Amino acid sequence: MLLKDRIAVVTGAGSGIGRAGALMMGKEGAVVIIADRDAVSGEAVVAAIRAAGGRAEAVATDVSDDAQIDHLISTTLDKHGRIDILHNHAGIQVGGALTEVDSEGMDASWRINVRAHFLAAKLAMPSMIEQGGGVIVNTASNSGVFYDREMIAYATSKHAVVAMTRQMAVDYAKYNVRVNALCPGWVDTPFNDPFIAQMGGRAAIENYVRTKIPMKRWASAEEIAEGILFLVSDRSSFMTGQALVIDGGESIA
């Protein structure tokens, strides 16, 4: 097992990529703390990990609320004494170009995509230093490394996640804390439902994906979870400050 007895906290783990990563961590022996704002889906992921023979618990957490992030990190430390893995995954996509996005959309993107990652990492870092190391994965997006459609709030906040990841990595490498960014492209999860609706439905998005992505398809959440497992395990033991792009070639086309 790659993660035997490691304590892993995953935000936004109730669905999609976060869920797939959490299931994989559970399979590899970690104790997974499922931190989703949706308590029902959080508990369902806990049940799925336990049914597969793993260990998990849910701490319902809305990462847009500082007090709830504080509660997540402090209860985990109180109960388990350490956090080995922090996967900051919850995020939002506010669509639109400069003249279409209102200030509230920009603020919300910053608050959930960037500030929440910052705060959870800030609160977990002292214990990682004290215990001699740890791993942080910040979910960005391939929208954190390139620009395409009209997504100013999303692209700006996701680029900030990559920048913040690099800054954390360089500052805390001496404490054996590795920090990397996860940058998926199109992944078939409910996250894209609003964009699919905006595009005019499933057939339209399938056509978009076929023409825009060099590999001509979506990723599954499980394909992205393979990257998560790589980043949170010792398989990436000499890697820090990097943006792992898993996008079927979209950002280099």
The residues assigned a catalytic role are: 154
What 3-state DSSP class applies to 24?
A: helix
> Shortest approach of ligand NAD to residue 171 CB, angstroms?
23
12 in contact with ligand NAD (CB under 6 A): yes
**Contact 88/116 with Cβ under 8 angstroms?**
yes
Say how many C-beta atoms besides its own lie within 10 A of residue 167's C-beta: 12
Name the residue nearer to ligand NAD (CB basis): 93 or 131. 93
Residues 187-216 as x/- pattern, contact with ligand NAD by CB under 6 A: x-xxxx------------------------
Q: Which of 36, 57, 84, 250 binds ligand NAD (CB under 6 A)?
A: 36
Hey, what are 33's tokens? 């703390």
Is residue 186 near ligand NAD by the rule CB under 6 A?
Answer: yes
Q: Quote the least distance from Cβ 68 to ligand NAD, whole Å.
A: 8
Among 7, 10, 59, 61, binds ligand NAD (CB under 6 A): 61
By the rule CB under 6 A, 225 interacts with ligand NAD: no
Which residue of 62, 70, 150, 223 would you call a contact of ligand NAD, by CB under 6 A?
Answer: 62
Q: Which two tokens stand for residue 30?
A: 């970690």
Strands of the 177-184 sheet, one edge to the other = 55-58, 31-35, 7-11, 85-88, 134-139, 177-184, 243-246
Q: How far is the CB of 140 from ligand NAD (least distance, A)?
A: 7
Q: Which of 76, 109, 127, 139 binds ligand NAD (CB under 6 A)?
A: 139
Residue 127 binds ligand NAD (CB under 6 A): no
The token pair at 172 is 């805390």
Q: How far apart are CA 235 and CA 41, in angstroms?
A: 30
Is residue 138 involved in binding ligand NAD (CB under 6 A)? no
- Residue 38 near ligand NAD by CB under 6 A: yes
Q: Where are the alpha helices (DSSP H) in the chain?
A: 16-27, 39-51, 66-80, 103-109, 116-131, 152-172, 193-199, 202-212, 221-232
Count of residues that interact with ligand NAD, criterion CB under 6 A: 29
Q: 42: which residues sit within 8 A by CB, 6+ positions away?
A: 13, 14, 34, 35, 36, 58, 59, 60
89 makes contact with ligand NAD (CB under 6 A): yes
Which residues contribute to the site for ligand NAD (CB under 6 A)? 11-12, 14-18, 36-38, 41, 61-64, 89-91, 93, 112, 139, 141, 184, 186-187, 189-192
